[in-house]
Amino acid sequence: MRDKRGFTPAGAFLLKSIHIAIRSSPSFSQSPSPSQLRRSFSASASSLRASMAPRDPNTLANYGEWLTKHTTANFKINFEEQRLEGSVVLELESLTDRLSREIVLDTNHLSVQSVKLDDSSDSKWALKYRIEPYGAPLSISVPEGVAQGRVVKLDIAVETTKDCAGLQWMTLAQTGNKKHPYVYSQCQAILARSIFPCQDTPDVKSTFTFNITSPLPVVASGVPVPSDSTSKDGEGGKLFRFEQKVPIPSYLFALASGDLETARIGKRSVVATGPEALQAAKWELEDDMDKFLAVAEKLVFDYQWGEYNVLVLPPSFAYGGMENPIFTFATPTIISGDRQNVDVIAHELSHSWSGNLVSCASWEHFWLNEGWTTYLERRIGAAIHGEPQFDFSAIIGWKALEDFVSLFGADNEFTKLIINHKGVDPEDAFSSVPYEKGFHFIYYLDRLVGRENFDKFIPHYFKTWARKSLDSFEFKKTFLDFFENYGNAEIKEKIAQIPWEDRFYKPGLPPKPEFNTAYVDSCLALAEKWKHEDYKPSASDIESFNANQTLVFLQAVQNFASPLSAERSHLLGTTYSISSSKNVELKSAYYLIALRAGDKKELSGIVDLLASVGRMKFVRPLYRKLNEIDRDLAVRTFQENRDFYPSTTKGQIAKDLGLK
């Protein structure tokens, strides 16, 4: 039945109604299904995998029957037409002894020109009806089937289209030095399928070869193959080759091309960006890069990927950072001239273990990527800036978690640790919840067994699941197995009490631990003063604060029961020089206060920020607030800048503004 799902409009309808039925059944999400239970006791060997129903609901690929072993992407970057042209070769292993006669791959608004199965000239294939929001499955017939364990080769000629959501193309006018065009990809969560046909699920890992032709320098999520032997000028530019020998899920496929130069920021690291921004980017990162790596390697184990580099993207980038292997992609807002936003790099680097080496098996278990990563990021922060930094960052995170829980509602599905994603676009479920609730779960386990013991579990966990994907039930089993056999009776007793069901499925805020408030007390004390109308501020109030302490102060003011008056809000912005700051994190936090206060004088600054930054963390709350205060201006600003934003950002803002 699974093979046929969605291949007709009736099938699509059926799929939708099943989702609705499942989503409204409370028992479904409360306890693991028999197959989940079975899975939690199985290794993830291919043969076992074949006997299970695929556990990722956000792919249409039949990856329980076929498994991508290697992917070769041969693309020419055509800047004039704003598309990638070429072919993708997938090597797929047959997983079943039932001789599966069909391979189903994910595609989304792709132009597929031909498909060759093992060099045969008359392969039968068809792009089926779209199933929102997952795209159109590409079905390829394997007339005789092949024996279990055999590998077939699919050579697919393909071009991206104008509707490709995974690529952001920029004309000369939109880039830093206005001399060259630019393109970058963003595949997480389910956008790889808009660039090439694939099994677009984090449950499948493949090695990759990239053969990319471009007139401009290229970076990708593979190790560059030395250019003297391979790079040659040809039609449409130079050939850039990369190899990724560690198997990675499709969402970590990445490339970018533009006027890029590099500068060294560490032993194994360079930063790449436009020549006009290179020195500032180098200065921002060079102090911390090697320190981050050293701490992370000590906490987990050796870095497995060879190089760790950072690409600083144009300002439209929707995220703070994206952990593409070999090259983390980062927003230029981290280049704030004060080295105060480099925690983003500690975070993306941590993904080299949590997420990239050990991946969540589906977006329902996304907390395994982001919760672990947030935990490692905070451990790195503590090792470099002192223990209270861990709690300091956790306090900032708690505020983000509270904000999302109140936005979604405390009993909303998206506030659970394991989120039911059937029929859901992972983009819609995205929030701080997997980060912070995930962090609090890991941190709770850490405190439960004790730091010294937990630190022994960290490398064990990452070694056990390296190069594999797992779900929450497998995590649970790995944790319990480790501490049941640890030889410590007290710990054994403690772990028997863990309320797994509650932690996995209870919506809303998790239990709040006691935080060490050493770094926040002075920020909160200053906020208290602002509660009094007659408080006369001076620049020296925040002299001793670092930027994150100023942020904590601003967040406390955001939370005041009643807003500041427009005048006092303005006084805050000018006295503390926040309205003129280069730090977008601070500026956007202040603008939320100004909007709430109805300070019209800041509207033009707010509109300017919305027109020049694409990072969703900043622009979505600002649009939501502006919409409450001046809907016309919010809608107009969005309409004027819509082409500046990547398509997912555009979609999310449109939803926030009620335009969709």
Q: Which residues of 527-546 are buried (b: 16+ CB within 10 A; e: fewer)?
A: beebeeeeeebeeebbeebe
Do residues 221 and 255 touch, judged by C-beta distance below 8 A? Answer: yes
Tell me the two tokens of residue 245.
């020998």
Rounded CA separation 354/334 (Å) = 22
Mind giving me the DSSP string for 129-142? Answer: --BTTTB--EEEE-
Q: Which residues contact 13 (CB under 8 A, 6 or more apart)?
A: none
What residue 390 binds from ligand BES, Zn ion, none (CB within 5 to 8 A, per partner kind)?
none
Residue placing its CB nearer to Zn ion in the complex, 168 or 352: 352
Beta strands in 321-396, from DSSP E residues, in sequence order: 321-322, 327-330, 358-360
Residue placing its CB nearer to Zn ion in the complex, 64 or 320: 320
Residues that bind Zn ion (CB under 5 A): 370, 373
Residue placing its CB nearer to Zn ion in the complex, 257 or 359: 359
* Cα 413 to Cα 32, 270, 433, 505, distances in angstroms: 16, 41, 11, 9
Closest approach, Cβ 165 to ligand BES, in A, equals: 12
- DSSP 8-state code for residue 351: T
Residue placing its CB nearer to ligand BES in the complex, 102 or 323: 323
Residue placing its CB nearer to Zn ion in the complex, 341 or 581: 341
The 3-class secondary structure across 300-314, one letter per residue, is CCCCCCCCCEEEECC
Q: Which of 93, 348, 436, 585 is catalytic?
A: 348
What residue 344 binds from ligand BES, Zn ion, none (CB within 5 to 8 A, per partner kind)?
ligand BES
Residue type, 586: L
Mind giving me the DSSP string for 393-455? Answer: HHHHHHHHHHHHHHHH-TT-GGGSSS---TT--HHHH-SSHHHHHHHHHHHHHHHHH-HHHHH
Closest approach, Cβ 351 to ligand BES, in A, equals: 6
DSSP H helical ranges for 506-546:
521-530
Closest approach, Cβ 462 to ligand BES, in A, equals: 17
Closest approach, Cβ 33 to ligand BES, in A, equals: 26
Do residues 44 and 469 touch, judged by C-beta distance below 8 A? Answer: yes
Tell me the two tokens of residue 505.
């499925």
Residue placing its CB nearer to Zn ion in the complex, 56 or 370: 370
Q: Which of 134, 308, 435, 576 is catalytic?
A: 435
Rg of the chain over all Cα atoms, to the nearest angstrom: 25
Element (H, E) at 68: strand 66-78
Rounded CA separation 481/472 (Å) = 14
Residues that bind ligand BES (CB under 6 A): 188-189, 319-323, 343-344, 347-348, 351, 370, 430, 617
Residue placing its CB nearer to ligand BES in the complex, 56 or 370: 370
β-pairing, 223-224 vs 66-78, is unpaired
Do residues 593 and 576 touch, judged by C-beta distance below 8 A? Answer: no
Catalytic residue check, 348: yes
Only one residue has tokens 């005048």, namely 567
Closest approach, Cβ 373 to Zn ion, in A, equals: 5
H and E: helices and strands count for the chain: 24, 22
Among 548, 550, 531, which residue's Cα sits nearest to residue 539?
A: 550
What residue 265 binds from Zn ion, ligand BES, none (CB within 5 to 8 A, per partner kind)?
none
Rounded CA separation 106/529 (Å) = 56
Beta strands in 226-350, from DSSP E residues, in sequence order: 233-234, 237-248, 255-257, 261-266, 269-273, 309-312, 321-322, 327-330
Element (H, E) at 159: strand 151-160
Closest approach, Cβ 397 to ligand BES, in A, equals: 9
β-pairing, 66-78 vs 110-117, is unpaired
What residue 189 binds from ligand BES, Zn ion, none (CB within 5 to 8 A, per partner kind)?
ligand BES
Rounded CA separation 146/92 (Å) = 11
Closest approach, Cβ 435 to ligand BES, in A, equals: 6
Residue placing its CB nearer to ligand BES in the complex, 282 or 347: 347
Tell me the two tokens of residue 524.
């909160």
**Annotated binding residues for Zn(2+), as ranges?**
347, 351, 370
Closest approach, Cβ 367 to ligand BES, in A, equals: 12
Residue placing its CB nearer to ligand BES in the complex, 374 or 581: 374
Residue 199 CB coordination number (10 Å): 29
Catalytic residue check, 435: yes
Give me the count of residues in the chain: 660
Cα angle value 109/112/113 (rounded, 5°)? 150
Residue placing its CB nearer to ligand BES in the complex, 317 or 505: 317
What residue 430 binds from ligand BES, Zn ion, none (CB within 5 to 8 A, per partner kind)?
ligand BES
Closest approach, Cβ 619 to ligand BES, in A, equals: 12
Rounded CA separation 335/554 (Å) = 21
Closest approach, Cβ 330 to Zn ion, in A, equals: 12
Active centre residues (catalytic): 348, 435
